[in-house]
Structures are given as C-alpha cells and as structure tokens.
Amino acid sequence: MEIAPTLQQIHEYMLVTQFGGGIPCPTVPTLPVVDVDALTAGDDDPFFVTLQISEVGRVSNNSVIYDDELVSIIENTIREGGVQALMGHLPESEISTAFPHSDNSSTPLAGFWVGVTRVGEILWGKAYVPPGNVRTYIRQLKATGGKLGVSFFGKAYVEEQDDGTRRLQNFVLDTLDFAPHNRASLQLAGDFEVTTEIQTENKDEEGDVPEITINDVPQQIREQIRQEALRETQATENAQRVQELEIQVQTQEETISEMREHGRVVTEIHAFLGEDADIVSVVREMYETMTRLAEILGGDVNITTRVEEYHRNIQEMEQERFQHAVTSAVAEFTKDWVVTTDTARSKVESFKTDFEKSVLAEMGDNRDQSKVAEVAQQVWDNGKQVIAESVRDSLMGPGAFVGGQGGQTPAWQPASDGDTARAKLGL
C-alpha cells in the first residue's frame, strides 16, 4: 500500500564543518540584494563566516535524501535574500509566537545569510554575524580549531521510501541555523572560515583569509573547474567556427555570382571568337593583363568591370574588322574606276555606301569575315551590276570623249579605252 507524503515541521541538523584541515572554502560573492554598508553600519569590524551548507547525493543520519531538488531550493531561497540564522532552533512551543532578535532570547538571532555558491555538488554559504555573544563564540571556535554545525528549519511533505530513507517534497525554508557540531546528522570534510569584509569604492576586500594556491584545491574540484573551462572553451571555439563558416558561405555565394557573370561574358566571347577558340588561353592572357594592370593601378581594380571593358573592346574591334572587310570587298568592284570631279566622286561614294548596306543586310547577324567576299559577289550578281552600269553611264555622258567639244573634261574616264574599261567592270 502506497503511503501519501505528510506535511511535517523539519529541523534537520544536517552537517558540520571544521576550522582548518578540510576542503578549502571558495570565495562566496555577496548577493546583489544585500546592501553591505547598511547591514554593517556601526560595526567597526564586520564579521562573516563561510561554511558548507549541503551536498547533493548525500543521505543524512536522519535518513533525509539530499537530492538536487532539495539543495536547489535551499540555494534559491538564500539567493532571494532575507534568510536568517538562529543559534539553534526555536522550541516547538515558541514557533508560533517567538521573534528572536537579541542575545537575551532563548534562541538568539545569530546572523544573516548574505551569499551562496555551489562548487560541484557542494553548496557553500556566507553569513554576516552581528556583534555579540555569537560572534565571540565563533571567534573562539576558530581560535581552538573547533567545529560548527548548520541545521535547516522549515516545512515539507515527507515521502517515506522503501529503503527507509525520506525524501522531502515542496520544502519551504524558514531559517538556516547554527547548531552544535555533535548533533549534526551529515558530516562533511570542508573548512569553515571567519572573514572580515570592508566595502570599498570598487570591491569587497576580505581579511583573515589564508592564501589559497592551486595545490590547496582538492583534485575533484580542480577537475570540475577544468571540465567547465573546457566546455566554455569548446563553446567559444564552436561559435568562432560557425562565424567562419558563415563568412565562407557568403564568400562562396559572391564567387558563384561572379562566375555566372563571367560565364555570360565567356559565352559572348565564344560567339565572336568562334566555338573552337581556346577560351582558357584567352582568359589566362586577359587575367595576366588585368593583373599587371591592377599592379599598375594599385591593386584596387574590379576584375568584373575590367572583363566587361575588355569584352566591349573586343566587340568594337570585331565590328571594325567586319566593317573593314565589307568596305574592302565593295572596293574590289570599283577599284579600276577613275573619278576626276567632286560630283562624280560623290555619286561613286553613294553607290559604294548603298552596296555596303546591301551586303550587310544580306549577311544579317552573321559576322564571319570569310563570307563577306562571297556575299558581296552575290549582291553584285543580283542587281548591283545593273546599278553600276547606270552610274557609269551617268558619269560618262556626252563628255566621255577626251578633248570633246568645248574642251570639256569627262567626269569619269576608263583606265584605257571604253571597251577595256567595260571588260574590267564585267559590263
């Protein structure tokens, strides 16, 4: 039959610590909620005691299980501030009415808990002890290497376990009291220390605390510190690695974008240089040229901009070469014409311009220079020859005979006689 937890008043004399010879006390910071100046006002020699409060995983002589939940409740309650320490527990007859506040009380107020910290599984606390008999007593314990117990007082639902141990649920801490060491139900190996704490402008200065070196720290705590440092280092390294990867991804995305842009340029270069062009060699030569140019200009050159400039230059050069090929092909058909006047020269140039336009129209988007002469011949055969005859006739006219009537000079003269000129023109 399962027994339901019962609500009980708990006064557990849980542990005892000794001055010297045990686990060195860590530095326990003062809680942010504590105003040390106000707390110690009028106290010329503020007195603080640091000692172990509890340890996770232990079972006391009273069979109470100190699990993480119980220890965490004690720790968090102290962190909230206002937890007091009495010199022993209130008698049950005074629980509902007593208000300890002086040395004359049956259970005098002994101190105020002003700091708490957990090192590994051990919970440490720091208490301010006001001037009075309790302070004197603790000073004497320190001087004689004595022991001091700690006992919590509060309420909890007690759950009895099958093995006879007891687990405290929903524990509410009322006070965390000093107690005689021989009544403690949990023995721990830690020191407890008496310190003085003087509030300065920037920090708390502590006195009467022996200097602690790394060799004074127990191996277990040193290993816990080392593991925590390793975890923090690993977390830092992981964050740095993530940042590095993010930068690499961004760089790769920028590189891909540039490669796409370069790919478009390369495709257009292929269109102008031909599919058999060695693009690698062309790009390498362009890269070397741009590298030299970047060195000359100081290294702040945008490569993409330079590639596009080279691309435009290539387009312009190819267009000029193609236009030159068309002009040269047309000129082959009129190279034997002899023009002697500006009017005749204008008519011949007009004919050649019209001839070039016809060749360009016939070529369309094809800019293969090797095809220009062939296309020009086709245009000549398909109509330009007839126009050439008309132009020739208009130029020769009545003045085609040298030394004609009136001493006129013909506007157009064949290279020799008329028959020879016609034969050369194919007329």
CA distance 52 to 54: 6
Domain match, 21 and 135 both: yes
Contact 74, 68 (CB under 8 A): no
Token pair 């140019």 in the structure block, residue: 293
How many degrees, rounded to 5, is the angle at CA 314 between CA 311 and CA 315?
90
Look at residue 222 and tell me if it is in a domain. no
Domain match, 286 and 409 both: no
CA distance 84 to 111: 6
Domain match, 311 and 335 both: no
Q: What's residue 116's pLDDT? A: 94
Closest C-alpha to 184, from 12, 9, 10, 20: 12
Per-residue pLDDT, averaged over 401-425, amounts to: 41
Domain match, 167 and 266 both: no
Least reliable range by pLDDT among 10-24, 190-204, 275-289: 190-204
Bridge-based pairing of strands 65-66 and 58-59 is antiparallel
Q: What's residue 117's pLDDT? A: 94
Q: Inform me whether the pLDDT recorded for 33 exceeds 90.
A: yes
Q: Inform me whether the pLDDT recorded for 22 exceeds 80.
A: no
Helix (H, G, I), strand (E, B) or coil at 163: coil
Closest C-alpha to 243, from 255, 235, 253, 232: 235
Tell me the average pLDDT of the chain: 75
What are the φ/ψ torsions at residue 426 (nearest 5 degrees)? Answer: 75, 25
Domain match, 372 and 304 both: no
Domain match, 179 and 68 both: yes
Q: Inform me whether the pLDDT recorded for 242 exceeds 70.
A: yes
Look at residue 218 and tell me if it is in a domain. no
What are the φ/ψ torsions at residue 200 (nearest 5 degrees)? Answer: -110, -175
Look at residue 113 and tell me if it is in a domain. yes
Look at residue 219 and tell me if it is in a domain. no
Decide which of 247 and 310 is more confident: 247
Burial of 85 (0-12, 13-18, 19+ CB in 10 A): buried
Q: Inform me whether the pLDDT recorded for 304 exceeds 70.
A: no
Q: What's residue 127's pLDDT? A: 93
- Write the pLDDT tens digit of every residue in 88-140: 766 665 655 555 565 455 667 789 999 999 999 999 999 999 998 888 888 88
Domain match, 129 and 55 both: yes
Give the range of the structural domain holding residue 254, as residue numbers without chain letter: 233-315
Domain match, 310 and 335 both: no
Of 315, 340, 363, the residue that ends a domain is 315
- Write the pLDDT tens digit of every residue in 45-95: 899 998 888 899 988 878 889 999 999 999 999 999 989 888 876 666 565
Domain match, 106 and 239 both: no
| Cα torsion angle, 311, 312, 315, 321, sign | negative
CA distance 191 to 210: 12
Look at residue 75 and tell me if it is in a domain. yes
Q: What's residue 290's pLDDT? A: 72
Decide which of 362 and 1 is more confident: 362
Total domains in the chain come to 3
Q: What's residue 8's pLDDT? A: 66
Domain match, 268 and 138 both: no
Domain match, 196 and 250 both: no
Domain match, 238 and 263 both: yes
